[in-house]
Amino acid sequence: MAFFVVLLSACEKEESVTATLSPDIEFVTGKSPFQEDSIIHAAKGKKFTIEAILRDEAGLKSFHVYYPDWYLDNTIDLARYYPDQVLKVYDLSYNFTVPGDVDEENEYVIKLSATNHGGLTSQRNLIIRLDGDYEAPKISEIVPGNNATVSASNFSIQFKVQENVQLKYILFEFPFRNVYDSITSFRGGKGYTYNESYNGLPAGSYNFSIKAVDMFENTRERYINFSISD
């Protein structure tokens, strides 16, 4: 199942232009400086988005998204949607759901092509790998708990973070003590335990925050308010 979103960043009405060059296709999602083809990390049964910038001085006529094994063979006729306009720049956002019965060990190549008003066509490949992570890291065993009242004696802040693929970073902030820690070293890349004493806090209300982000930018945050008793 697929649908596309039109995001028009440039639209001009001009006389026809003779096409001497084929359209330029620049992927936004999966873009890599190390290789020509782009890679998207998806998962079966999950939706992903193809994002690309299409450019052509003669005007973009259509684009085609093609991978027949997934019943993906869709041509979008831009000239039909914009008959009185010459589209020189087009921001493409195309959503598609991976079939639920595909082999996760394989790579799949979706072909994206663009055609201008002069009939010239460009094509780029988008590699789909089914190793994507759609689950945010888990934050657990937080001490003190939210809205808890605790004693200043031997006071400590504790929590655990667990990720199913790989953690990217954890941000821990305890403003009262000017603690703004960015943590990037993890046990096996997947787990982290925090346990730090903060003695000498006067009675009052406090807060701290935890933000955990994995390599696919899945994010989980917790905000904790607590009080120190007299």
pLDDT value for 11: 44
Residues 124 and 13 in one domain: yes
CATH at residue 104: 2.60.40.10
The sheet with strand 2-12 has its strands ordered as: 2-12, 86-97, 47-55, 24-27
Residues 171 and 64 in one domain: no
Residues 67 and 152 in one domain: no
Q: What spatial distance separates the first Cα and last Cα of the chain, rounded to whole Å?
A: 61
Of the residues 69, 100, 129, the one at which a domain ends:
129
Of the residues 100, 129, 158, the one at which a domain ends:
129
State residue 212 phi and psi, 5-degree precision.
-115, 130
Residues 184 and 152 in one domain: yes
Residues 124 and 210 in one domain: no
Residues 160 and 199 in one domain: yes
Residues 150 and 190 in one domain: yes
pLDDT value for 8: 41
pLDDT value for 30: 67
For 160-185, what is each residue's pLDDT tens digit? 999 988 999 999 999 999 999 999 98
Side chain identity at 157, as an amino acid letter?
I
Residues 42 and 106 in one domain: yes
Please state the domain count of the chain.
Answer: 2
Residues 86 and 161 in one domain: no
Report the range of poorest mean pLDDT among 109-113, 184-188, 210-214, 218-222: 184-188
For 97-135, what is each residue's pLDDT tens digit? 999 999 988 999 999 999 999 999 999 999 999 988 889
Residues 124 and 177 in one domain: no
Report the range of poorest mean pLDDT among 4-8, 37-41, 139-143: 4-8
| pLDDT greater than 50 at residue 188 | yes
- Contacts with 85 (C-beta within 8 Å, 6 or more apart), sequence order: 11, 12, 13
Of the residues 74, 95, 129, the one at which a domain ends:
129
Side chain identity at 50, as an amino acid letter?
I
> Mean pLDDT, the chain, as a whole number?
88
CATH at residue 223: 2.60.40.1220
**CB distance 104 to 130 below 8 Å:** yes
For 56-106, what is each residue's pLDDT tens digit? 999 999 999 999 999 999 999 998 888 888 899 999 999 999 999 999 889
Q: Which domain holds residue 48?
A: 2-129
| pLDDT greater than 70 at residue 147 | yes
